[in-house]
Structure 1
C-alpha cells in the first residue's frame, strides 16, 4: 500500500484535482491530508465535496488544520473574529446559496470538519498539521496533546535540534520548496499564495521513499 501525504489546499479545488490526476491513487493507496482544506482560496466548499467523494473509493485520513479549528469554533459558538482575519470570509462565500445570499453549510460538511483528527502516527512517521514542540520527544508531545501546538506551532523550524524519535510530517508554514530533513518533512508550498514569488504549488509526498510531487496553482 502506498502512503501519500498531501499539503495545505486552502480552497484551491482545481489544483487539488490536478494533483490527484498526477497521483492517480488506487484502492491500495492511503492518502493522508495534513489539514487546511478551507479559507483564502476560491472554492472551499468544492474542496470538501471533492474530499468526501474521494474517500468513497480511496482510503483517506483527514487531519485538522488551524483553519478547520476556526471553522469549528464558528459552527459551535458563532465565533468569527479570528476566522475572519484568517480567510473565513472566502469560505462562507463559497457556501452562499441563491439570490438571497444565504450561507448554507451542509451537515455533511460540518461533520467532515468536526471529524478531522489532530494527528496520525505510524511506526516511522508522525503526521500533524503544524508541528510539535521541538524540545520534547514525539511521545512526550502526545502524552497530553496540546491542540494549540499541534495546530499552530512553528518553533521546530528555527530550533537548533529536534528531540523527536521519528520523522514528523506537517504543513502549516508555507515554504518555496518542501523541507526534507531526517526528522522533519514539511509539504506546504503555499498553493494559495500563488501571487507571492516562489509560492503557488500544491505538494504531496510518497512515503517512505520521500518522492515529492507538485502541481502549480490552477484557477478554473
Structure 2
C-alpha cells in the first residue's frame, strides 16, 4: 500500500504514537503527515522528537509546525518561557528537558526550526495545524503564526448552516479554496467527540490526546482511521493537560 496518512496532535504521548502506528499497520511505503503539537502535555516530549527524527530517515514524512512546538523552540533557544505556556502543558516539557543533554537539545532545535507551516498536495488538499484567515488562502496570509494559532477556520466550519449550498454567495470564501483541509489544534473533545470530525471541507484530526482522548491517524483517501488508547490510560500516573 502507498497510503497518505495524517496524524493528529501527539502532545508528548510517545506510547500513543507507537501504538497508533502499529494499529494502522504503517509501512515504509506510506506517506505520513504530522499536523503539529508534538510536545507539551505528557512526559515524553523529548522522546517523541527523537522518534520522529528517526522515523523521517525511513519514510516520506511531512512535519507541520504547531503552536506548542514553536513555544518549545523559543524555550530551547533562550532558556526562558512565558507563564502562559507553562500553564498549558509546558511544565511537563520543561521538566522532561532537564534530563536531556545539550547535543540532543541541539538536534531538537534543528528539527523544530525545519518544521513546515503547511503542506499542500497535488490534489489541492491543505494540511495545516490550526488555520488561516486570508480570503485568498495560505500564500497570502499576512501574519504567519496564524497557521498554528488560528481557531476561526474551525469555528466557521462548525457554525456553517448546512442548508447554505457551496455556490451560494453566503458560503464562506475560505471554505471554497481547497478540496479538503486537515487540521489539529482544537480538540474534538470540545464538542464531546473523540474521533476525527468532518465539517464542510475541513477534517479535524485532533481527538484530544492532550486531555482525555486518543491519538488518531487517518487515511486521507479512504477516510478510515485508527486510534490509540486514551492517553489518560497510557499514562495513568500523569495529568497531561487536564
Q: Same fold (TM over 0.5)?
A: yes
Aligned residue for 2:52, secondary structure, equals helix
Aligned residue for 2:107, secondary structure, equals helix
- Match for residue 121 of structure 1? 120
Supply the distance in 1 between the matched residues of 2:85 and 2:201 (Cα, whole angstroms): 31
Supply the distance in 2 between the matched residues of 1:213 and 1:192 (Cα, whole angstroms): 17
Does 1:143 find its partner at 2:159?
no
| Structure 1 contact 15–219 (Cα < 8 Å) conserved | no
| Structure 1 contact 92–103 (Cα < 8 Å) conserved | no
* Larger deviation, residues 45-54 vs 151-160: 151-160
The TM-score, its normalising length taken from structure 2, stands at 0.79
| Structure 1 contact 162–183 (Cα < 8 Å) conserved | no
| Structure 1 contact 25–58 (Cα < 8 Å) conserved | no
Q: What is the root-mean-square deviation of aligned Cα atoms in Å? A: 2.0
Runs of 4 or more, structure 1, over 6 Å off, are none
Structural mapping, 1:27-106, within 5 Å: 27-81=28-82, 82-97=84-99, 104=102, 106=105
| Structure 1 contact 93–103 (Cα < 8 Å) conserved | no
The TM-score, its normalising length taken from structure 1, stands at 0.86
Q: CA deviation at 1:79?
A: 4.0
Supply the distance in 1 between the matched residues of 2:207 and 2:5 (Cα, whole angstroms): 16
Aligned residue for 2:74, secondary structure, equals helix
Aligned residue for 1:213, secondary structure, equals strand
Supply the distance in 1 between the matched residues of 2:208 and 2:136 (Cα, whole angstroms): 28
| Structure 2 contact 11–38 (Cα < 8 Å) conserved | yes
Unaligned regions of 5+ residues in structure 2, if any? 161-170, 237-242
**CA offsets, 1:12-63, max 9 Å, x none?**
1111110011122222211000000001112101111111121121211110
Supply the distance in 2 between the matched residues of 1:45 and 1:69 (Cα, whole angstroms): 14
Structure 2 residue corresponding to 1:205, chosen from 215, 218, 222: 218
Identify if the C-alpha distance between structure 1 residues 50 and 145 changes in structure 2 by more than 3 Å, giving closer, same or farther: farther
Aligned residues between the structures: 208
Unaligned regions of 5+ residues in structure 1, if any? 195-199
Does 1:191 find its partner at 2:188?
no
